[in-house]
Amino acid sequence: MKFYPFKAIFIGLLFIFLFSCKKSTTSEATEINFVKENYDKLETTITMRDGIKLFTVIYSPKDKSKKYPILLQRTPYSCQPYGADTLKNNIAPNKYLMDEGNIVVYQDVRGRWMSEGIYDNMRAYIPNKKSNKDIDESSDTYDTIDWLVKNIENNNGNVGTWGISYPGFYSTYSTIDAHPALKAASPQACIGDFFFDDFHHNGAYLLSYFRATTLFGTPKDAPSDTAWYSVPDLKTKDQYQFFLDAGPLSNLNHYFQYEKLDETVPQNKDKIDDFFWKELVEHPNYDEVWQSKGIIQHLKNIKSSVATMVVGGQFDAEDLYGPLETYKTIEEYNKDNYNTLAFGPWSHGQWARTSVENSVGNYYFGDSISIKFQEQIETKFFNHFLKGKGDKNSGLPEAYVYDT
């Protein structure tokens, strides 16, 4: 292992949202051309069981001579770019799955961006739904998959989900009460429990997440293709001094109060509270609110027809708890299921980047580790369960773990 003394450390919650910036200009141009030349883009809405419409973007191969599986990512980070003639720089979990041809679908989750409804940060699972009004991310995923397999031409009836960070949480959610067409899920850097991942790390609210809180807690009243939230201006780059000078917690509340959306919204005061900040302040302990939002406890009865590959990074500062607990729980309670783990020398989502050199901060671990994961592990997993035999003989081991 080499040591690089002057390499800067980059850790960011918004890595997934800014993911399209990860490649060089030449690479981006090449892949944009590839997507334009090989895929058709369709924007549509899919109606959920309670009538709410979720904005969905579908990339389908132009070659209609064969059938393809569907790769689905549900995200709170937006399925930008919007507009039928404006395409993503790259699609699918990696370039290999993009190059060989798959139907790739992105969806704005309920209450985010161009989708209708009310957003709930890690919406609690409802185990015994009694009516169409009982909705959660499991039911939204089920309804989405049901529409996709019935309405997209040239699909082979098999669906896989994937996602990193928040989208990883939604991939995990897809395995609960799964649609029969769901054959593979790959939760990556997936949030497992908000009291142990991301904003809370084993109970402590991370001050470095202060400015990111508005990203998830600012309410909106209608679908939007532009950001409706803004990051608090602390008037200083020295966050340590900012919090030292702030005084009691109540002095920070004004950063999370907004003008009323419109006059039809009933309010007892002039400002609207950031609902996520309100949760954080009013529930400082691991009470029923955070316990109900955790997804790990609901992974005990996954259909054996759903294969899972959990992915995580040994140096993930955001979500280290989630992937390990997700893999462990699925393994313990679903003995008949195919479940594998890929755990490497990566920071948050670093395995999805294509840089040859694999380093974290000052430390270098080798070349092409992420590329090997994408080509020889991730692609092999999805192809086996979505295009191949779909049995347990995938050719992959129980776990890939990098020895540092």
d(CA 391, CA 317) in angstroms, rounded, equals: 35
Between the alpha carbon of residue 168 and those of residues 28, 29, 64, 191, the distances in Å are 24, 27, 30, 7
Query: For residue range 365-398, what is the model confidence (pLDDT) as tens digits?
Result: 999 999 999 999 999 999 999 999 999 999 999 9
Please compute Rg for the chain using Cα positions.
21
Residue 9: per-residue pLDDT: 29
Whether residue 266 is preceded by a cis peptide bond, meaning omega within 30 degrees of 0, is no
How confident is the model at residue 356, as a pLDDT? Answer: 86
User: Which of 59 and 27 is assigned the larger pLDDT?
Assistant: 59
- pLDDT of 210 over the 50 cut: yes
Between vectors from CA 125 to CA 104 and to CA 127, what angle results, nearest 5°?
A: 115
At 69, list the tokens: 């599986």
User: Rounded to an integer, what distance in angstroms lies between the CA atom of residue 71 and that of residue 382?
Assistant: 9
Q: What is the mean pLDDT of residues 257-278?
A: 67
Arithmetic mean of pLDDT, 275-280: 93
**Chain mean position to CA 84:** 23
Q: Among 46, 43, 83, 77, which Cα is nearest to 59's?
A: 43
Mean per-residue pLDDT, 1-11:
35
* Digit-coded pLDDT (tens) for 140-195: 999 999 999 999 999 999 999 999 999 999 999 999 999 999 999 999 999 999 89
pLDDT tens digit string along 219-260?
Answer: 888 999 999 999 999 999 999 999 999 999 999 999 998 765
Mean pLDDT confidence for 303-325 = 97
Torsion of CA 107, 112, 113, 115, to 10 degrees: 60
Residue 382's H or E segment, with its range, is helix 379-386
Q: Domains (ranges, CATH) in the chain?
A: 2-196+295-401 (3.40.50.1820), 205-285 (no CATH)
Q: Tokens representing 360?
A: 């974290």
Q: Cβ neighbours of residue 55 under 8 Å, at least 6 residues apart?
A: 43, 44, 45, 79, 107, 108, 113, 114, 115, 223
**Count of beta carbons in the 10 Å neighbourhood of residue 44:** 13
Q: Which residue is it, tokens 């529409």?
A: 147
155, containing H or E segment: strand 155-164
* CA 263 and chain centroid, separation: 34
